[in-house]
């Protein structure tokens, strides 16, 4: 694929059924819990993408036995909460999930472990995870700038107990603590001094831990979580499709007249909070059919338009860019509230959304942690020349603006292959909308 990619607008309506690859969030949680389990776990539906590769390589470097029977299936033999290799150097690229989860996991057992990534990863804060780990006895040193990778962890001495967390920039910090909690002497209780961010991702972690045999207690109002001491049991598990990556095709159906998209393997039984994005499209005027194992989105009836909405996306911030793409074609402004943590993702996503949508004629304002998008009067009007969209090495920027290009002529993506982070076959799937 070239350095730039022109997204050709669709020339007709579409009706498709798709099953995207496995969830990144579930894959990275499942393989870590399998590595911490007490025996052999058979996993299928695993994501095959850069973020998942980074986690796999790190676990193998730590001595975990990983037998791949196909790109999406593996047998992982756990080591009951420790790692066979005491010392390890882990290079994690820009895989934020892997970096955060492994920062906590590398505190288990004994040994010296270093964690590092690309320059952008060294700009992504991790102090809100390191501080509570230190409170629990972990020995963690910053190797460059305080609060940021690279890290050196001297494992040994971590204990359980009770900690109190202020609202954090990422729910992944909380998930990282929860996943190692069964192996902390006495277990772990986390009290929350304020509402946690992205609660659906935390409940996803707890649901998966339950499947591995550890049941946590959530206090009313999500004021605390208690995880008992224990051992993860071996399981056989299938990973459902990635709800975040499915959102782009559901969005494409919503903005393309007379179109319909069904995502198979993802329905109201999903443990992924981003599966709720279909309800956001429904609020904007699309029709939604949600079955136990499928979600269908249908564009508004003939003669009707999508409408702008005012919505808090704190519970699914990764959907902000997809919503921004849909908002570009809506009737009236859309306000996306409470998504300040987008600033510490693969790029500053709030700024990126603003800069790139304004290139396409939208008016975009940032007020604190809110984004207000006012679409152009005629969003499908071709520009005098093609508009090159900077993707910022951010997979979600590329995929969301590709959705815009399906309707608006002249959208060119710079560095389109950044989608390899979570969805290497994204453009192949996009061609299925063309029949």
Active site members: 318
Counting Cβ atoms within 10 Å, is residue 193 exposed (0-12), middle (13-18) or buried (19+)? Answer: exposed
Locus of tokens 């890290």 = 151
* Prior bond of 150 cis (ω within 30°): yes
Locus of tokens 């999406």 = 72
**Which DSSP helix (H) or strand (E) runs through 40?**
strand 40-44
C-alpha distance across the termini of the chain, in Å: 21
DSSP classification of residue 239: P
Query: What is the sign of the dihedral through the CA atoms of 377, 354, 332 and 387?
Result: positive
Counting Cβ atoms within 10 Å, is residue 154 exposed (0-12), middle (13-18) or buried (19+)? Answer: middle
Joined tokens for residue 340: 């300040």
- Strand locations in 177-233 (E): 188-192, 217-218, 224-227
């Amino acid at each position: 694929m070239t350095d730039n990619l022109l997204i050709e607008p669709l020339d007709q309506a579409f009706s498709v059924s798709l099953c995207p690859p496995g969830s990144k969030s579930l894959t990275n949680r499942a393989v870590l819990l399998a590595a911490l389990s007490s025996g052999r776990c058979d996993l299928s539906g695993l994501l095959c993408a850069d973020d998942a590769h980074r986690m796999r390589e790190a676990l193998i470097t730590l001595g975990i036995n990983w037998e791949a029977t196909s790109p999406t299936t593996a047998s992982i033999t756990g080591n009951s909460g420790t790692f066979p290799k005491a010392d390890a150097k882990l290079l994690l690229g820009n895989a934020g999930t892997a970096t955060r989860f492994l920062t906590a996991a590398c505190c288990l057992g004994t040994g010296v472990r270093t964690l590092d990534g690309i320059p952008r990863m060294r700009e992504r804060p991790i102090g809100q995870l390191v501080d509570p780990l230190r409170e629990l006895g972990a020995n963690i040193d910053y190797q460059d700038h305080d609060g940021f990778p690279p890290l050196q962890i001297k494992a040994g001495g971590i204990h359980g107990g009770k900690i109190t967390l202020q609202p954090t920039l990422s729910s992944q910090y909380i998930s990282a603590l929860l996943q190692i909690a069964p192996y902390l002497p006495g277990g772990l209780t986390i009290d929350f001094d304020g509402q946690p961010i992205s609660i659906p991702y935390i409940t996803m972690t707890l649901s998966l831990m339950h499947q591995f045999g550890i049941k946590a207690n959530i206090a009313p109002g999500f004021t605390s979580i208690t995880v008992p001491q224990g051992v993860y049991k071996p399981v056989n598990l299938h990973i459902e499709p990635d709800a975040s990556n499915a959102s782009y095709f559901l969005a494409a159906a919503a903005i393309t007249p007379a179109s319909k998209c069904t995502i198979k393997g993802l329905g109201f039984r999903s443990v992924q909070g981003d599966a709720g994005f279909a309800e956001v499209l429904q609020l904007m005027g699309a029709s939604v059919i949600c079955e136990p194992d499928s979600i269908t989105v249908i564009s508004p009836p003939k003669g009707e338009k999508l409408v702008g909405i005012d919505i808090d996306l704190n519970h699914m911030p990764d959907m902000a860019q997809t919503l921004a793409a849909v908002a570009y074609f809506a009737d009236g402004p859309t306000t996306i509230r409470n998504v300040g943590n987008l600033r510490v993702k693969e790029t500053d996503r709030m700024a990126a959304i603003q800069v790139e949508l304004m290139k396409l004629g939208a008016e975009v304002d940032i007020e604190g942690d809110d984004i207000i998008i006012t679409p152009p009067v005629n969003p499908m009007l071709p520009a005098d020349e093609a508009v090159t969209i900077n993707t910022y090495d951010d997979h979600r920027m590329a995929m969301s603006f590709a959705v815009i290009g399906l309707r608006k002529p002249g959208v060119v993506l710079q560095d389109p292959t950044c989608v390899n982070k979570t969805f290497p076959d994204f453009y192949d799937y996009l061609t299925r909308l063309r029949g």
